Structure 1
């Protein structure tokens, strides 16, 4: 990225990047992995590393075909390099989010100049939804990274100054990135870019994007990168293709089979909260610019079409999760970075009041943690979370005050960098304070009591439920009892890897000289009523661990 002629900004921008990287990656290991998503994907990566089978994914030893393997591969590589820990498990989503912000900044710099580039990078990195999803182990950060590369490569190829050979290479990069997106999460990796081309062509009545996609060579690159794994896994597992493409794509989208439905406005709160601290800029995004360079107008139209399609597409889905709309946020950051270039400091000061007010409300709410305790969550958990929220709010408000000071001196870019870093630090503090709550959804509090059982060679059962983090922290697979959910297909193909009924488990338990089991309170009561010999090794408000002896 080009350096600014402003000496203060020349010094501030590298410092911003350094502090951002320290906070970004330094906070990865401050929290335990939580169930379900983090435990699931960490266990899948550990399974590949443990078995050496890099083609057929297995979750807790059972065939698992819901998603493609790119994140499992990278997670396994990082675990090999850095050990089986939270840092290694979360490193790929974190790296994806950080690189996404860099891609956004570099693209804005190439299209609209250094000021837009610096601002777009800061905006993208500090958006709550970008930073937050980069610090939880899910697939969406990696998907968003590749989709952002594809989008930005097309924008640069079409709207930046470049030779025909350079444009062709940018388009080839876009096709390669789409292959990465497909290997990250499936067909959505081509649906979003393809739909953006269609929507933009219809809206602008312009087929130039289509004509510049180098379809023959681009498809060859895409298939060369994306197809081999699908061919290999299908050859080794005959039921893969039907389950992956029909059940996990069409049925997931068109039906409510996964029981993750929501109202049409389901994503609007996540869009508003995810935009923080830049929520005040939303009015600038919904208004289409009709003045300025022709290329800038066309590029913003592509970004608007892309963002709108992502929001509407997932809003219409029969299966909804908050992180699904993450791919739209880098596009919004690009739009905001461009629009903010022409916004005067006086206007920015007004919009600064919006995140400051919301953080102030959070600060006030943090004093009321005693009102939200429950039987399953002790008061001290909410108390520590409230303390983190309070500290995060104070840090942000201090940063906002400094940003206001910069704006009073018409130093808009320095103010944006300050506000972005203050929000990142505030959110990181809140996430770290989530650890006591996260431990209630993690195996870390009780895994130590199970290690002697594993070392003796005795089995560990998971009765009537499944803690996704348990195999990863235990470094050992557990035997599922009376539990299906996402394992249903794998259990059908390999029925001997789990126990179907509680009666069968009771017989197995009675016959073993030593064993252990994880279960919730209701399952424990049921097993106790059956008269099974059980000694409680660990118990909290949500789960119980027992041994056979």
Structure 2
């Protein structure tokens, strides 16, 4: 880490200097040109120039540091052995050229719009066609674009030989700490320039306009959440402060800080004792298990730190709560007496059981998908790795738990985690049955048990997502004889039907029309009809064709950055890897099957990529381990997201979730006494979160209808409805507010004689 602290030949100073010089030069040119065009009479004396430069350093370095974050993350992810390589030169040149192009575009736009680019960009996002026509009428677009390209290309050529200095890269911990320190420093600079804490920065302050939210600066930053700096600022500053304290303690003069008290020595001593207690020989395995445990513990704690959000989480948790309240377990209830035909009941049963054991709260409702995620992680230990099996399995578990979709879905009340568990159980069992010389008969039947789990969590979609890659792999590798003899198809199918078919028949018997809606509507029309209007419980999620591939890339972050570098080679027997041919093709087909299947689907969600994520985890770990044999230390990239999760931990322990805005009624209902009648003005139904946090006591009122006179009464109402009906609600007391909703309590006068009603059943159309 000395490279971070030494100013002479500092690695990051040399790396970032071209970016900073270009950024400041473009800013100075913009200020000079604008002052000339607007004839402000700016004083260009030496003192004025120094003052201007000082303001630029304070006000724009913060946004520069955010703009440079993608490059710092690249340096953190790039293996140490590759720093200074041809690949490093090429990628850094691409980063620098893009940086110059985007900054030149922004400064040119500021000049042409007379420093009103933020205004025009907001207008462009609201009305693209009109704004473009307005700007194109007064701006020579083609000459401007040619000028921007020429300036950007010339700047890139000027600094081309200075982009990658011949210096050794810092250690992995130092490179992981650099983005956090840069982010924290940006907050400090913005604080000094605005005179206020980051939590108090204005919506369009420099920190809120440039760089923080996107690599594209002002163009997209104008659409950001105004409270985002106050949300992420404190944990980033705290983490940056902790890193600085560790660095100071580590490199303090020896006469003031005994070597045994330095953080590295203390960490080594504690690690050695823990390794001995756990009987581990490898330092890498110890840190791997420690990081995995920290991620899982963070997710377990965080599940109760924020409320259930409308609509999906609160709706599914409320249906599980209704199971406990009514004792009706066969078919989930969308509302009292209204069956829910959208999904099978496995995930609802699981959340109902965990709430039965842990109480009616968000943590207990989320415990069920968390346990399903743990089960998926444990299945990695059953995958037939031929060498370092436990270490690789733990690494796969970490990749799953630390990925975007893996971390979120493991604590979200949804059905997708159970579908992914069923498919993973089937795929692992299938591979163990067909690849090994001998396998326990239980694994052969677990293949069908996994399909039953999928049928009971999401429906026949599980048969497609599991059968599609298996069928393609069997045909491609000509393994149909092996697959036919190794898998007990007849008895296994009977087992699968015995575990799932009775519920389908009983559900149809109790609620006629279920099979037609569920099979035809949910499994065909939902995915093939854009904006499908037949959904009885919501609306279709219309998306352009192929959106699932974008979800696949973003949901697997941060590991998506490693995929282009994973040059997987066919394993050999001598390497100790897989000895059965076709393992790579099986994993790739498994990983790609959800993406291929949903490519033509129009109504999709990001969670639809989850069934293929375990295969991506195995491919990532296999690639890192193969690469590590050529360049030792590459597999340490498994610790890449450590600093991100450290910031998340501080965010959690600092009660950061309290600053978020939720689509939830929990905070609003905290002002309700829990016993008085509670009504909600809504044309369809009370929000699901209001139903959950009121234990089903909330009643719907059509807008404009007052509740009956029955002592003290509470009314939840949208702010817009309240403003339109102020005269009708005269005398009602304002108890609480939460985002778009208000909570009122009844006045002493009489109310309307009309009573509240539960949500009416939608037209089934069956």
TM-score normalised per structure 1: 0.75
Question: Residue 545 of structure 1: SS of its match in structure 2?
Answer: strand
Q: Distance in 2 between matches of 1:339 and 1:237?
A: 50
Which of these residues, 617, 620, 627, is aligned with residue 333 of structure 1? Answer: 617
Matches within 5 A, 1:156-305: 156-163=432-439, 166=440, 168-207=441-480, 208-255=482-529, 256-257=531-532, 258-283=539-564, 289-290=569-570, 292=572, 295=579, 297-305=581-589
Which of these residues, 690, 699, 706, is aligned with residue 470 of structure 1? Answer: 690
1:57 and 2:332 matched: yes
Q: Distance in 2 between matches of 1:95 and 1:249?
A: 27
Q: Do the aligned partners of 1:520 and 1:542 also contact (CA within 8 Å) in 2?
A: yes
Q: Distance in 2 between matches of 1:480 and 1:249?
A: 32
Q: CA deviation at 1:161?
A: 4.2
Tell me what 1:446 maps to. Answer: 668
Q: Could you say if the C-alpha distance between residues 23 and 161 of structure 1 is closer, same or farther in structure 2, counting changes exceeding 3 Å?
A: farther
Tell me what 1:542 maps to. Answer: 740
Q: Distance in 1 between matches of 2:464 and 2:668?
A: 43
Q: CA deviation at 1:228?
A: 2.2
Q: Could you say if the C-alpha distance between residues 16 and 540 of structure 1 is closer, same or farther in structure 2, counting changes exceeding 3 Å?
A: closer
Q: Do the aligned partners of 2:377 and 2:400 also contact (CA within 8 Å) in 1?
A: yes
Q: Could you say if the C-alpha distance between residues 226 and 341 of structure 1 is closer, same or farther in structure 2, counting changes exceeding 3 Å?
A: same
Tell me what 1:315 maps to. Answer: 599
Tell me what 1:76 maps to. Answer: 352
Q: Distance in 1 between matches of 2:506 and 2:344?
A: 12
Q: Distance in 1 between matches of 2:728 and 2:484?
A: 67
Tell me what 1:509 maps to. Answer: 707
Question: Residue 519 of structure 1: SS of its match in structure 2?
Answer: strand
Tell me what 1:523 maps to. Answer: 721
Q: Could you say if the C-alpha distance between residues 151 and 112 of structure 1 is closer, same or farther in structure 2, counting changes exceeding 3 Å?
A: farther
Q: Could you say if the C-alpha distance between residues 171 and 47 of structure 1 is closer, same or farther in structure 2, counting changes exceeding 3 Å?
A: same
Tell me what 1:135 maps to. Answer: 411
Tell me what 1:351 maps to. Answer: none
Q: Distance in 2 between matches of 1:334 and 1:92?
A: 24
Q: Distance in 2 between matches of 1:318 and 1:211?
A: 39
Q: CA deviation at 1:20?
A: 3.7
Question: Residue 490 of structure 2: SS of its match in structure 1?
Answer: helix
Tell me what 2:640 maps to. Answer: 419
Question: Residue 138 of structure 1: SS of its match in structure 2?
Answer: coil
Question: Residue 469 of structure 1: SS of its match in structure 2?
Answer: helix
Q: Do the aligned partners of 1:32 and 1:435 also contact (CA within 8 Å) in 2?
A: no
Q: CA deviation at 1:291?
A: 5.5
Question: Residue 26 of structure 1: SS of its match in structure 2?
Answer: helix
Tell me what 1:393 maps to. Answer: none
Q: Do the aligned partners of 1:306 and 1:331 also contact (CA within 8 Å) in 2?
A: yes
Q: Do the aligned partners of 2:452 and 2:499 also contact (CA within 8 Å) in 1?
A: yes
Q: CA deviation at 1:148?
A: 1.1
Q: Distance in 2 between matches of 1:142 and 1:428?
A: 26
Q: Do the aligned partners of 1:105 and 1:119 also contact (CA within 8 Å) in 2?
A: no
Q: CA deviation at 1:253?
A: 1.5
Q: Do the aligned partners of 2:667 and 2:738 also contact (CA within 8 Å) in 1?
A: no
Matches within 5 A, 1:365-380: none
Q: Do the aligned partners of 1:196 and 1:305 also contact (CA within 8 Å) in 2?
A: yes
1:45-68: per-residue Cα shift (whole Å, max 9, x none)? Answer: 111011111112113423322111
TM-score normalised per structure 2: 0.55
Tell me what 2:321 maps to. Answer: 46
Q: Do the aligned partners of 2:296 and 2:401 also contact (CA within 8 Å) in 1?
A: no
1:111-137: per-residue Cα shift (whole Å, max 9, x none)? Answer: 873443333232222222211221222
Question: Residue 735 of structure 2: SS of its match in structure 1?
Answer: strand
Tell me what 2:361 maps to. Answer: 85
Question: Residue 715 of structure 2: SS of its match in structure 1?
Answer: strand
Matches within 5 A, 1:358-437: 410-413=632-635, 415-416=636-637, 418-419=639-640, 421-427=642-648, 435-436=657-658
Q: CA deviation at 1:515?
A: 3.9
1:269-304: per-residue Cα shift (whole Å, max 9, x none)? Answer: 43223222322331256x674553575541221111
Matches within 5 A, 1:110-149: 113-149=389-425
Question: Residue 540 of structure 2: SS of its match in structure 1?
Answer: coil
Q: Distance in 2 between matches of 1:540 and 1:10?
A: 47
1:151-180: per-residue Cα shift (whole Å, max 9, x none)? Answer: 1111112223424xx1x3212101101111
- Higher relative contact order at CA 8 Å, sep ≥6: structure 1 or structure 2? 1
Q: Do the aligned partners of 2:686 and 2:698 also contact (CA within 8 Å) in 1?
A: no
Q: Could you say if the C-alpha distance between residues 56 and 115 of structure 1 is closer, same or farther in structure 2, counting changes exceeding 3 Å?
A: closer
Q: Which runs of 5 or more structure 2 residues have no equivalent in the other structure?
A: 1-277, 533-538, 748-766
Q: Could you say if the C-alpha distance between residues 422 and 144 of structure 1 is closer, same or farther in structure 2, counting changes exceeding 3 Å?
A: farther
Q: Could you say if the C-alpha distance between residues 18 and 283 of structure 1 is closer, same or farther in structure 2, counting changes exceeding 3 Å?
A: closer
Whose helix fraction is larger, Structure 1's or Structure 2's? 1
- Higher deviation after alignment, 336-345 or 529-538: 529-538
1:375-433: per-residue Cα shift (whole Å, max 9, x none)? Answer: xxxxxxxxxxxxxxxxxxxxxxxxxxxxxxxxxxx4555x2553355554445556787
Tell me what 1:104 maps to. Answer: 380
Number of equivalences: 455
Q: Do the aligned partners of 1:92 and 1:142 also contact (CA within 8 Å) in 2?
A: no
Question: Residue 292 of structure 1: SS of its match in structure 2?
Answer: coil
Tell me what 1:461 maps to. Answer: 680
Question: Residue 461 of structure 1: SS of its match in structure 2?
Answer: strand
Q: Distance in 2 between matches of 1:269 and 1:424?
A: 24
Q: Do the aligned partners of 2:544 and 2:602 also contact (CA within 8 Å) in 1?
A: no
Question: Residue 314 of structure 2: SS of its match in structure 1?
Answer: helix
Q: Do the aligned partners of 2:323 and 2:352 also contact (CA within 8 Å) in 1?
A: yes
Q: Distance in 1 between matches of 2:300 and 2:339?
A: 32
Q: Could you say if the C-alpha distance between residues 14 and 341 of structure 1 is closer, same or farther in structure 2, counting changes exceeding 3 Å?
A: closer
Q: CA deviation at 1:334?
A: 0.9
Q: Distance in 2 between matches of 1:479 and 1:247?
A: 30
Q: Could you say if the C-alpha distance between residues 326 and 423 of structure 1 is closer, same or farther in structure 2, counting changes exceeding 3 Å?
A: farther
Q: CA deviation at 1:241?
A: 1.8
Q: CA deviation at 1:324?
A: 1.1
Q: Do the aligned partners of 2:373 and 2:417 also contact (CA within 8 Å) in 1?
A: yes
Q: Do the aligned partners of 2:668 and 2:742 also contact (CA within 8 Å) in 1?
A: no
Tell me what 2:185 maps to. Answer: none
Q: Do the aligned partners of 1:20 and 1:421 also contact (CA within 8 Å) in 2?
A: no
